[in-house]
Structure 1
Amino acid sequence: MGKTALVNSWLGRMRADNFRGAERVFGWSFYSQGASEGKQASADLFIASALRWFGDPDPTKGSPWDKGVRLAEFIRKQHTLLILDGLEPLQNPPGEGQGQIKDPALKTLLRELANHNPGLCVITTRMEVDDIKEFIRTSVQNIPLEHLSDEAGAELLLHLGAKGKEDELKQAVCEYEGHALALMLLGSYLKVVYDGDISQRDKISKLMNEPRQGKHAMRVMASYEKWFEGKPELDILRIIGLFDRPAEGGAIGALRAELPINGLTSKLEGLSKDNWRFALNNLREVKLIAKEDQHRLDALDCHPLIREYFGERLKTSNPAAWKEAHSRLYEYYKSHAKEYPDTIEEMTPLYLTVAHGCQADRQQEAAQIFYGRIRRKAEGFSWRKLGTFAADLAALSNFLDSSGNMAASVLTDEYKAFILNAAGFCLRSLGRLGEAVQPMKAGLKVTIALNQWSNAARITGNISEIYLAMGDIRQAQNYAKRSVKLADKSGDAFQRISKRTTLANILHQAGSISEAEALFRKAEDMQKKFQPKFFYLHALAGFMYCDLLLRMDRYLYVIS
């Protein structure tokens, strides 16, 4: 029994006891975005859905931090039971910042609840949540779930139909390191294939030098893959592996509707409804797919490790089928999405369109969908109106490699620049400054190659501000000076003024007061010529200039 199963079992007992006084109960699983750490995942849909469910009249209002605070306030109004299952896709992987939550709205929510919460928030994750460690032993309790003991694992194997002496059952548990999912699959596999004989487990080949999480479960999955070879069950598992969330019935139907895809849907061609149900029952019997969801009877789901295993196997062993399937899913979600969605829920099919389009090697079309229908071109609808920085970033990550560079070479240079700069912008907006620099630098390089000097000046200025916020004054000055040169080359009056004020502010922070004042004065003189009705620098530029003047004790000038 794994974390999710344990929580579901506990919830079942709580439900039978009328939730023990909880006035509201809200649960959410982040495993719909996969199980691997380090991927770009988003809490935007959770935050918006939760705010709406708790009664917020405008879930789009405010920054991610504002939304987190507001949701905590709603939750605290009543004794609320909040269940957050599978948080690890939203946490930093092992290494620097391990366990920290990447999404600012979710991070703010959890810190707010850790500070004060009359209800209960239950989180499942493989890693400690670093952001609330300071509250441990006061309002936060960590309950480590170790792998199953030899005794508990042996009982589980017996329950699943395994047969053998107690010592041999315990030895099997030890060999599989007590991994709950692996033992579930092992017990079911032995029952079906070897009448439960535990001594036959050595027929399951080992995966050599496999350090990944869930390696023992993958051993059993590899055996199931051989067992179901040439049968509809394997095609179904491979179909589920195309998704990063429960596979909805309509999407599955789209994959089966056209000519069969060799190695993916060929065994499903002409399959009757009865035989389809028979194959599903076989998979449920051996714990490879989840029980039928009474709210979505045609949807298919499984443990994320199972989903990822069969998806990766299809991608590596049959790339043609992988691309064709994702191409059909791209067309399905594109045609079922609202042309211009108004909420994040309505936007989800378009995010899926982008993801499947990239997997189908249709990156150019996917980029056009993102720019035209998600961002609505220069309007920037998704982030300006909905504030979906994290969801946008998750979609954009489909075009990028792990280092923040372009993974897709088939895009036009204009779209490469857009994708890279949009990713950097989202990372910056989410407070992930160190990660934002690389895609912005890569985007700057493409933008300069396109001779788009005004955009290049803007991007360079943004990079300089990131370095300033990170405390790297030297790099901040270097990029700010470069932004001034690019702005002058562009001839764009606004950029020429704004980039001088950016550099002046950095010089101020570096202690170069006289240089900073001279540059602010120069920018203000340019401002008078560019917009005569504005005699002084205004907005952010005016604020930065006033900040310098106050430091120089020029109070009367600031007041005037």
Structure 2
Amino acid sequence: MARFFHHALLLQARLDLNLTQEQAASAVGVDVRTYRRYESGAVNDARGGFSVRHPTRRRMLERLAAEFGLAEEDLLVEALPPGAPAPPEASGPSSEEPEQGLRPHFAHTLQRARHFVGRGEVLAFLSAWAAADAPAERVVTLVALGGTGKTAVAERLVASLGEGPRPGGTFVWSFYEDPRIEGFLSRALRYFAREEEVAPGERLERLQDVLGGGPPHLLVLDGLEVVQSDGGDGRSRGELLDPSLRRLLVALARGLGGARALMTSRFPVADLGAWEGNGLRTLALAPLSEDEGVDLLRLWGLRGGGGALRELSASTGGHALSVSMIGSYVGGFLGGDARRFEEVPLAEAARDDALARRLQAVLSAYARALPEQERDLLARLCVLGGGVDPEALQAIAQAGGALAGSLAGMGWPELRRTLARLERLGLVFAAREGQARYSTHPFLRDYFKSLLGVAPERIHTLERERLAARLDTRLHEPPRESARLDDYEALLLHTLRSGHAHEAYAIYARSLGGFTHLGLRLGDMSRGARVTAIFAPEGDPRRLSEALGESTRKELVYDWGLYMGALGQLDFAVRCYEASVALSERTQDAAGIVTGLRTLGYTERLRGRLTSARRLLERSVEVAGEYQARSHIARSAALLGLVLHELGEAEAADMHFSQARTLDGTPMARRALWQAEHDLALGRRERARAATRKNLRVCEHLGWHGHVAHCHTVLGLIAVEDDVAAAGEHLVQARVWARASNEVEMLLRCHELAARLALAEGRPEQARREAEEGLSLATACGFGLFRSRLACLVARSVLAREPQGGVDVALAALEATVSEDAWGQAEALELAEKALEATGQQARARELRAARAPRAR
């Protein structure tokens, strides 16, 4: 007798596992059209049924059964059950036109609510927002306590958009599953721009270009709180930890073509507060109403009078996850009888953090009811965190003993069936990224980790050994490929969590190459910042792991500051350098103290806090003098000379540059650049040009790419007055590093040079665009000195095009200029005076001229 493929069972299994057809196809390793033939029943023949004689069909049946936790015999039936949809009529080859637009892309699966109620008003707003050509709110953030249902709402919206191609792409990323910002940028570029390999420093700019191209692209970013501060590390609550992500979201809020972003988080995004109501919409997701809670309990199969269910719903405070867990528990283990749930003392939960206490009471009852194998698998999955691959779970089962618990000896098919049961209960979901990866709701992890039965370090040790077995930890040269760097980063994480802090630092310093490799060679600043932050569980640079020695902590926190400073997070970089100086003082490391103070002074200078920078550098010179460290005295004295120059004390600056030459000969690298900038401002152009050309050759020979780029910007500023072609070539060369590293200071230098070059070429509108883009970046990142320069360039560009229309912008430049920046103040006052005179406001011009007199020298 002919047998048929039970396509209705496959459909139900996919829906139970919260998967789209695209995700299901990826899981079993076929294209989506092939998968659809199985789910629709098109593989069945009306007379011959479904034959498994062909090896391809046999393998497909095995994959479907294993992946969906089904028995093969259940997928082959003698007759389709009554009511099962009949297979569609066979049709000839498709003659479809090529698809227009992009199909949605799920880098990660959003956890789908097994049962969904309410949220009609929020979903109606989001649906209209997603369909609008150019909504006023380019960024929408769903904010609520964990477990309130933010992810379920986002998933519901994405599902409503369908799986077909749309004019704008839809890209879904979960920071719960992968917090790597460079991974997010790389994957988004691969989807939107079809670009496989883009240097780390170029990804942000390239993605902004693509998103700004016009189509109504949609980014769905789940679990943003993973990359936000909770306020306990000295930062603002809700502040984004990664400057690259902050710059992307700010750009989206300001407007990038038709692009928009939906985000979920436990915190409002502090960095976007200025755009609330004009680019940003923050939606606070309310708890479920009592009626919605009752509806949800009924969907889980609970029986009982409306009053009993209403009381049960009210006991959770409308917390969606708590209601679902009660529904899943009572429906799955108590036969749906709500009266039997009275044993869980929800009413005794304290008012402080009541929702968490109530949920813990539910989970405690749930854990007791789970079979031992399911409980053990869930606990181990929670320890490993998000995005756990099958190999890691199999390694635990094969380890045996207390480490494996009741999982000992289980093979992958049995593990997969256990995972499928947990998925149906709503405790686990499959996050698919090429291969199956499994995760749990973050709100559940802490509780189920407590049921592990062994020290969590043992699980991390096992994973560390598994990763180390396929990686060479004694590399002669650190890797450059992103995938390989990801592997070493994962090894570092599990090494640290297994209690081997020194070995973890060795992986950072040797296998990943430290700042020298990650920062200076690769420009992979985001990775470097994230890896160094791993050593500070609370996110505070003053509280690095005590398992590391003070000397190691000093080096690590100094590198952390370098990454954060390069990414433009100057406030946090200052905290890192202060911690480094404190550690150097405790270990009596004179070189560390002097270097830390000098770097602090340089960072304060960039912020526009010149008096503070001066004090730090004077102290650096003093400490270096106490230890008779001539080269350190020279470097600190030269930087102090640059700060004095910016304060308007040109003669004192000359004296310090001369002192530096006396102590340590001809300057090179940054010392030479600081003096060249001083000479250029005082009109000593040829002296600055000759010194910088010589410096460029030295830096190129040494492979110091950042210094090379800096040399090109100085040479470009010199050439812009007498050779615009040469200035343009210098700009091109400088931008090679700026784009490769995403170093904010170099990006700003390039914007300044590009604006001055456009003015010299008679292109004021282009100059204004460059200056405004740089001004926005400088303002967002707190680079006070560059804010002064670029605000003046915006005004100069407007006045070059329309002398009588630049009063407002010239006065705005004066307002934006750092008060201690003598040169910026002088230029801004001059521009404002000219603008006022051009419009006949002579009296106001004279007032400004009087204000400018003290700075005229």
Residue pair 1:406, 1:416 contacting (<8 A) in 2 also: no
Residues 66-465 of structure 1 mapped to structure 2, 5 A cutoff: 67-77=203-213, 78-93=215-230, 97-114=236-253, 115-206=255-346, 207-208=349-350, 211=353, 214-228=356-370, 231-260=372-401, 262=402, 264-271=403-410, 275-291=414-430, 293=432, 295-297=434-436, 299-311=437-449, 313=450, 321-337=455-471, 340-374=478-512, 376=513, 380-402=516-538, 403-448=540-585, 452-465=589-602
Residue pair 1:44, 1:390 contacting (<8 A) in 2 also: yes
- CA 1:498/1:57 → structure 2, altered by over 3 Å: closer, same or farther? farther
Deviation at 1:481, TM superposition (A): 2.2
The separation in 1 between residues aligned to 2:491 and 2:251, in whole angstroms, is 35
Deviation at 1:239, TM superposition (A): 0.9
Question: Is 419-428 or 272-281 further displaced after alignment?
Answer: 272-281
Secondary structure of the 1:51 match is: helix
Letter in 1 for 2:177: S
Secondary structure of the 2:218 match is: strand
The separation in 2 between residues aligned to 1:4 and 1:535, in whole angstroms, is 50
Q: Deviations over 1:474-514 (max 9, x none)?
A: 65334312322344466665433221122233344556555
Secondary structure of the 1:300 match is: strand
The separation in 2 between residues aligned to 1:530 and 1:364, in whole angstroms, is 40
Residues 34-73 of structure 1 mapped to structure 2, 5 A cutoff: 42-53=180-191, 54-56=193-195, 59-60=198-199, 62=201, 67-73=203-209
Q: Residue 674 of structure 2 is aligned with which of 532, 536, 540?
A: 540
2:642 matches 1:505: yes
Residue pair 2:243, 2:569 contacting (<8 A) in 1 also: no
- CA 1:56/1:213 → structure 2, altered by over 3 Å: closer, same or farther? farther
Question: Is 109-118 or 335-344 further displaced after alignment?
Answer: 335-344
Secondary structure of the 1:93 match is: coil
Deviation at 1:150, TM superposition (A): 1.8
Deviation at 1:377, TM superposition (A): 5.0
For the pair shown, the structure with the greater C-alpha radius of gyration is 2
Report the equivalent of 1:38. Answer: none
Question: Is 365-374 or 534-543 further displaced after alignment?
Answer: 534-543
Deviation at 1:139, TM superposition (A): 4.6
Deviation at 1:454, TM superposition (A): 3.4
Letter in 1 for 2:524: T
- CA 1:234/1:412 → structure 2, altered by over 3 Å: closer, same or farther? same
The separation in 2 between residues aligned to 1:368 and 1:526, in whole angstroms, is 36
The separation in 1 between residues aligned to 2:669 and 2:498, in whole angstroms, is 55
The separation in 1 between residues aligned to 2:314 and 2:428, in whole angstroms, is 25
Deviation at 1:350, TM superposition (A): 1.4
Deviation at 1:214, TM superposition (A): 4.9
Letter in 1 for 2:353: P
- CA 1:504/1:219 → structure 2, altered by over 3 Å: closer, same or farther? farther
The separation in 2 between residues aligned to 1:371 and 1:446, in whole angstroms, is 19
Deviation at 1:396, TM superposition (A): 2.1
Structure 1: gaps spanning 5 or more residues: 34-40
Residue pair 1:243, 1:307 contacting (<8 A) in 2 also: no
Deviation at 1:555, TM superposition (A): 8.4
The separation in 1 between residues aligned to 2:356 and 2:384, in whole angstroms, is 19
The separation in 2 between residues aligned to 1:325 and 1:428, in whole angstroms, is 35
The separation in 1 between residues aligned to 2:618 and 2:444, in whole angstroms, is 52
State the percentage of identical aligned residues.
21
The separation in 2 between residues aligned to 1:215 and 1:295, in whole angstroms, is 37
Q: Deviations over 1:505-553 (max 9, x none)?
A: 33445565554442233224445x345xx79962134324655x47xxx
Residue pair 2:200, 2:524 contacting (<8 A) in 1 also: no
The separation in 2 between residues aligned to 1:164 and 1:511, in whole angstroms, is 81
Q: Residue 519 of structure 1 is aligned with which of 645, 653, 656?
A: 656
Residue pair 1:48, 1:60 contacting (<8 A) in 2 also: no
The separation in 2 between residues aligned to 1:353 and 1:393, in whole angstroms, is 17
Residue pair 1:524, 1:537 contacting (<8 A) in 2 also: no
Report the equivalent of 1:10. Answer: 157
The separation in 1 between residues aligned to 2:680 and 2:591, in whole angstroms, is 26
The separation in 1 between residues aligned to 2:369 and 2:487, in whole angstroms, is 35
The separation in 2 between residues aligned to 1:217 and 1:545, in whole angstroms, is 67
Residue pair 1:344, 1:386 contacting (<8 A) in 2 also: no
The separation in 2 between residues aligned to 1:87 and 1:111, in whole angstroms, is 15
- CA 1:334/1:308 → structure 2, altered by over 3 Å: closer, same or farther? farther
The separation in 1 between residues aligned to 2:447 and 2:650, in whole angstroms, is 59
The separation in 1 between residues aligned to 2:597 and 2:518, in whole angstroms, is 24
- CA 1:211/1:545 → structure 2, altered by over 3 Å: closer, same or farther? farther
Deviation at 1:31, TM superposition (A): 1.4
- CA 1:174/1:237 → structure 2, altered by over 3 Å: closer, same or farther? same
The separation in 2 between residues aligned to 1:437 and 1:213, in whole angstroms, is 38
The separation in 1 between residues aligned to 2:629 and 2:317, in whole angstroms, is 64
Q: Deviations over 1:429-458 (max 9, x none)?
A: 333333333443333344456565434422
- CA 1:58/1:247 → structure 2, altered by over 3 Å: closer, same or farther? closer
Letter in 1 for 2:423: R
- CA 1:170/1:430 → structure 2, altered by over 3 Å: closer, same or farther? farther
Deviation at 1:185, TM superposition (A): 1.2
Residue pair 1:47, 1:105 contacting (<8 A) in 2 also: no
Provide TM-score, normalisation by structure 2: 0.56
- CA 1:310/1:546 → structure 2, altered by over 3 Å: closer, same or farther? farther
- CA 1:185/1:545 → structure 2, altered by over 3 Å: closer, same or farther? farther
Secondary structure of the 2:170 match is: strand
The separation in 2 between residues aligned to 1:274 and 1:243, in whole angstroms, is 20
Residue pair 1:524, 1:536 contacting (<8 A) in 2 also: no
Letter in 1 for 2:173: W
Secondary structure of the 1:342 match is: coil
The separation in 2 between residues aligned to 1:406 and 1:97, in whole angstroms, is 18
Secondary structure of the 2:415 match is: helix
Residue pair 2:304, 2:339 contacting (<8 A) in 1 also: yes
The separation in 2 between residues aligned to 1:211 and 1:242, in whole angstroms, is 23
Deviation at 1:46, TM superposition (A): 0.8
Residue pair 2:382, 2:440 contacting (<8 A) in 1 also: no
Question: Is 393-402 or 449-458 further displaced after alignment?
Answer: 449-458
Letter in 2 for 1:219: A
The separation in 2 between residues aligned to 1:169 and 1:242, in whole angstroms, is 34
Deviation at 1:191, TM superposition (A): 1.4
Residue pair 1:190, 1:197 contacting (<8 A) in 2 also: yes
Q: Deviations over 1:117-168 (max 9, x none)?
A: 2244322223333444454555544444322222222111111122222233
Deviation at 1:365, TM superposition (A): 0.6
Secondary structure of the 2:221 match is: strand
Q: Deviations over 1:378-411 (max 9, x none)?
A: 7x22223443333323322332253323443333
